[in-house]
Chain A
Amino acid sequence: MTPQRIDLAVVGAGPAGLAAATTAADLGLDTLLLDEQDGPGGQIYRGIERAPDGRNKTTPLGVDYLAGKPLAAALRASRAGYLPGTTVWHIDADGTLSVLDKNGSRTIRARRIVLATGAMERPVPIPGWTLPGVMTVGAAQILLKTGDLVPAGRSVLTGQGPLIWLAAAQLVRAGAPPALILETAPHRNYHAAARLLLRALWPARRQLAKGLGLIREVRGAGVPVVREAVGLAALGRGRLERVAWNGGEIAADLLLLHEGVIPNIQISLALGLEHRWDAAQLCWRPVADEWGATSLPTVAIAGDGAGIAGAEAAALTGRLAALDAAALLDKLDPAERDRRARPIRKALKRELAIRPLLDALYRPAPPVLVPPDDVVACRCEEVTVAQIRRAARLGAPGPNQAKAFTRCGMGPCQGRLCGPTVSAVMADALGKPIAEIGTYRPRAPYKPITLRALAGLGASPSAGS
């Protein structure tokens, strides 16, 4: 079967991918936007096309959410092809994508690829986090965005970061205020952040005002907040019953965790792109230049998958990657590319001004990265922190050998969720920086695929033994 041939494949229809695909198509590139979800929007603008229309309609999700509408509308109006419900399960360095939809698997050959696969919430491995009833803050948001569902009973939010206040405000507006917020930001973060506050004060004034407004809104609604909560644990038999912290305990039906978001690097790692440890955001990120170009000539990366910068920045970096693709594929003069990029870069600079402050203020406390020994690190294969430490003691030099020894990272999530913990625990156990320890080397299929779909790919059975 000959693959479909196109100029540009954009993977992920969040703000970065929407902007990239729309811009590229407008510049005359034969563009396809692929996303495993069944509608555009990515994480922040999930379910955006179903959100209420018109000026006088409101949603508990707020105006920033509705900002996704024009992005999605622009895509629909553009000449870019859009394939929802399509999962990319393998990418070859030559630009061939293997994709899976309800009809099976097929290949698409692109001259260039923009990865816009976004972020995921940082895993929060506290004791008891595997109990049913413990979820992420983002999960609750997704239920609100896609189904107008809100927590029933007593919900507790714990963690830190801008998103926790946004989600709390959304729940308040939706008539389901949390029973308690346990904020985990360590006090020393405030000192570190104070230094950066002055610098961010003016350029990031709008974002700061917005953030403070959310906190005020949540507190104003009477939601109790415990600050600097440490020693968190989810307790219960067979499901969550109580939430405990050093100094308190509360009965709860739902515990929502959040310690910020980190790039989703499954595909960029599998592609063998160069990555580096970001010591400010405490996560791995692919190395990319100012256009998002990576160490692989065919692949660029845009949005939060390249490093956390937020939705507006994601759309901007998506545009930059599209401009660069157009220049590389001879649809745009390089000088014109640079000219068009100028206002985008200016806006991007404004968006990024608040990042150092946020990174310092919401830097996760050490136990988020290196949890206590009895905590499950790998949820799929049920491997504890202690088992990973034991592998390190035996001489395993890093996460990949630890994986071979303990099966951590071998379950269906393929190490997406335990990767950060395993690297940090290995580093801690071996007394080395995480940057030196490295991380998993994931492989295709990026998402499970049935043998039926795989077999239908259409190759002659010449290999095999």
Chain B
Amino acid sequence: MFRKRPEGSAATVWVTVEGREVQVPAGASAAAALLLAGLAATRETAVSGAARGPYCLMGVCFECLAEIDGVPNCQSCMVTIGPGMAIRRQHGKRIATPQ
């Protein structure tokens, strides 16, 4: 869906998206990493299971919910990536883990 501008800044960070390594410009959000990894649908809703992707990227719509470093339902557009961050799609309702 999105690509890096070749002239863009050189600093990058490695993260994993759905377990796959992706090189993302420093300062970008986890939502940007999902998009850069080529995912359009980044979650399924908790209501009907419909596929959704980020919409506003400014923290308003909560369409970018994703699992970040094991924490479900993170607003990924408001999380700046860090080295080694593990980003995954959010599948419907989160799991609460009473064990």
Contacts and interface: CB of A to CB of B under 8 A. Distances in A.
Chains A and B share a contact (CB less than 8 Å) = yes
A414 B61 CA distance: 9
A413 interface: yes
Interface in B23-54: 24-29, 32, 35-36, 40-42, 45, 47-48, 50-54
B3 A139 contact: no
Contacts of A295: none
Given A146-B28, A149-B28, A135 B57 contact: yes
Secondary structure class of chain A's binding surface, majority of residues: loop
B59 A50 contact: no
Given A50-B27, A132-B42, A382-B45, A151 B60 contact: no
A174 B57 contact: no
Contact of B1 (A52, A151, A175): A151
Nearest to A266: B60
Nearest to A38: B80
B58 A139 contact: yes
Nearest to A175: B5
Contacts of B4: 147-149
B78 interface: yes
B56 A148 contact: no
Contacts of A175: 5-7
A149 B5 contact: yes
A172 interface: no
Contacts of B59: 36, 447
A382 B50 contact: yes
B46 to A, nearest CB: 9
B64 to A, nearest CB: 10
Nearest to B38: A152
Interface in A131-168: 131-136, 138-139, 142-144, 146-153
Contacts of B3: 149-152
A388 B55 CA distance: 23
B14 interface: no
Contacts of B48: 382
A134 B47 CA distance: 20
Interface in B1-22: 1-9
Contact of B2 (A36, A37, A152): A152
B1 A253 contact: yes
B58 A379 contact: no
A413 B5 contact: no
Given A132-B40, A132-B42, A153 B24 contact: no
A136 B55 contact: yes
A238 interface: yes
A239 B58 contact: no
B68 interface: no
Contact of A379 (B9, B27, B36, B61): B61
A14 B29 CA distance: 18
B65 interface: yes
A47 interface: yes
Interface in A352-400: 379-382
Contact of B36 (A38, A60, A149, A382): A149
A417 interface: yes
B3 to A, nearest CB: 4
A142 B96 CA distance: 33
Nearest to B29: A146
B70 to A, nearest CB: 14
Contacts of B53: 132-135, 239
A149 B2 contact: yes
Interface string A96-127: 00000000000000000000000011000000
A417 B63 CA distance: 11
Contact of A382 (B5, B47, B62, B78): B47
Contacts of B55: 134-136, 139, 379
Contact of A136 (B56, B65, B78): B56
Contacts of B80: 38
A461 B73 CA distance: 28
List the 9 shortest-distance A-B pairs measured between CB atoms, nearest first. Answer: A148-B8, A147-B28, A132-B53, A139-B57, A132-B40, A132-B41, A412-B62, A152-B3, A147-B25
Given A147-B32, A151-B3, 11 more contacts: A37-B78, A39-B27, A120-B56, A121-B56, A139-B55, A144-B5, A146-B28, A174-B5, A175-B5, A238-B51, A381-B47
15 contacts: A36-B59, A36-B78, A50-B9, A132-B42, A133-B1, A133-B53, A139-B57, A142-B77, A146-B27, A147-B4, A175-B6, A175-B7, A239-B40, A254-B1, A382-B48
